[in-house]
Amino acid sequence: MKIGIIGAGQLGRMLALAGYPLALRFQFLDSSADSPGGQVGPIVPGAFDDAASLERLAADVDLVTYEFENVPVGALHAAAKLRTCLPPVEALRVSQDRLLEKELFTRLKIPTTPFRAVDTLADLCAAVADLGLPCVLKTRRLGYDGKGQHYLRKPADVELAWVALGGVPLILEGFVRFDREVSIIGARSTRGEVRAYPVVDNTHRDGILRVTLAPHRSAALQKAAERHLKRLLAHFDYAGVLTIEFFVQRGRLIANEMAPRVHNSGHWTIEGAATSQFENHLRAILGLPLGDTRPVGHAAMVNFIGRMPDRDKLLALPGVHFHDYGKAPRPGRKLGHCTIVAATAAERDRLLRRVSRLLPG
Ligand code: AMP
């Protein structure tokens, strides 16, 4: 069985690494031949928006999946005519547009940030008057890791935000004074089996995920997050792994966004859960029984951004697992991560402080 993965980034690499023990083979599509996936499988060179490249990949494999969210839906539909493509293209379409995503959350009664669609400066002024300051202006499409966002704190920021982002479809969101950010990852198989991982605690800086702590350990949040997750999975007749990111404000979940794919906040599951998100994604799209999602201890995942730390020093710490994606260093770029697994939360936190001291800068 050969699986085609659109995108050969670190997520694709980790999917392939999880699939080899299941006797799966992989082929990637990526415009860059030296992407991380290339270390573990062949890359078919091609652009994500080139329907012919996607069709070439589909013709060569048994099943197509994606690790990258910005694949044009039209091009993917062409590939999906040749081979089953999972997760469903419709989930990808919705996740590509913050407005569609928030409208769906609202329809499914999943609490989300207050929002307004913005296409003109007049729309923006009306939306700011409606939602009040502070608020956040975001591009509806192609935003990730805090890119394509502008915070509005005072009236003068309205014009500045419009100059910075105007000209493409936008969304204005009320600013949420959250207590913390969490996410939930779950898998649904083609046979309809569903499993959810524990809710995890995420810390972002400059819009980029830095640290995930797992599990978060709040029975009430877990129950609510699973309810929202199951609603989304059922809505799309989903197969694969799906992630929802939430703000937590006074004990309430407010959905920020969804990702129809394996997610950075689930990297801890490789060593910290009975079955990794990557293996469960593959099991789910192949209709295999899903694996146990329980944590095997207390885990922390630390992203390496811009510069890699000293591998040997980190490996000298007990319970630390190191992942180097083999990417060229660049400011703001995710180059690797490490996962700490410990028997108790206190021990995990102690190790996390030691890891933090070994990070460059
Ligand atoms: P996003 O690209 O939407 O995930 O945003 C990146 C990060 O910006 C989030 O993880 C939050 O830390 C912050 N952020 C985004 N939207 C809001 C909002 N409406 N209110 C407060 N913080 C936000």
* Cα 55 to Cα 12, 108, 176, distances in angstroms: 19, 34, 42
Query: How many whole angstroms separate alpha carbon 211 and alpha carbon 299?
Result: 10
Each residue of 172-192: pLDDT tens digit?
999 999 999 999 999 999 999
Query: How many whole angstroms separate alpha carbon 199 and alpha carbon 294?
Result: 11
Q: Whose CA is nearest to atom 17 of ligand 1?
A: 175
For a ligand 1 pocket test, name from 256, 257, 258, 263 the mutation site with the most ligand atoms within 8 angstroms of its C-beta.
256
Structure-token pair, residue 128: 């700011």
Q: Whose CA is nearest to atom 1 of ligand 1?
A: 146
pLDDT over 70 at 27, yes or no: yes
Expressed in angstroms and rounded, the spacing between residue 322 Cα and the centre of ligand 1 is 28
Confidence of residue 217 (pLDDT cuts 50, 70, 90): confident
25 exposed, middle or buried (CB, 10 Å; 0-12, 13-18, 19+)?
middle
Expressed in angstroms and rounded, the spacing between residue 207 Cα and the centre of ligand 1 is 7
Task: Tell whether the torsion through CA atoms of 17, 74, 80 and 27 is positive or negative.
Answer: negative
Q: Among 147-161, 168-182, 272-286, whose mean pLDDT is lowest?
A: 147-161
Atom of ligand 1 nearest to the CA of 202: 10
Instruction: Report the percentage of the chain scoring pLDDT > 90.
Output: 93
Expressed in angstroms and rounded, the spacing between residue 176 Cα and the centre of ligand 1 is 8
Q: Whose CA is nearest to atom 9 of ligand 1?
A: 207
Half-sphere exposure (Cβ direction) of 107: Cα atoms closer than 13 Å: 9
Calculate mean pLDDT across residues 234-244. 98
Structure-token pair, residue 155: 């009236």
Expressed in angstroms and rounded, the spacing between residue 247 Cα and the centre of ligand 1 is 8
What is the model's pLDDT at position 266? Answer: 98
Q: Whose CA is nearest to atom 5 of ligand 1?
A: 146
Expressed in angstroms and rounded, the spacing between residue 146 Cα and the centre of ligand 1 is 7
What is the model's pLDDT at position 145? Answer: 59
Structure-token pair, residue 237: 């007749």
Atom of ligand 1 nearest to the CA of 175: 20
Which residues have any ligand 1 atom within 6 Å of their CB?
Answer: 113, 136, 143, 146, 173, 175-176, 181, 204, 207, 256-257
Each residue of 73-94: pLDDT tens digit?
988 988 999 999 999 999 999 9
Expressed in angstroms and rounded, the spacing between residue 138 Cα and the centre of ligand 1 is 9
For a ligand 1 pocket test, name from 116, 136, 205 the mutation site with the most ligand atoms within 8 angstroms of its C-beta.
136
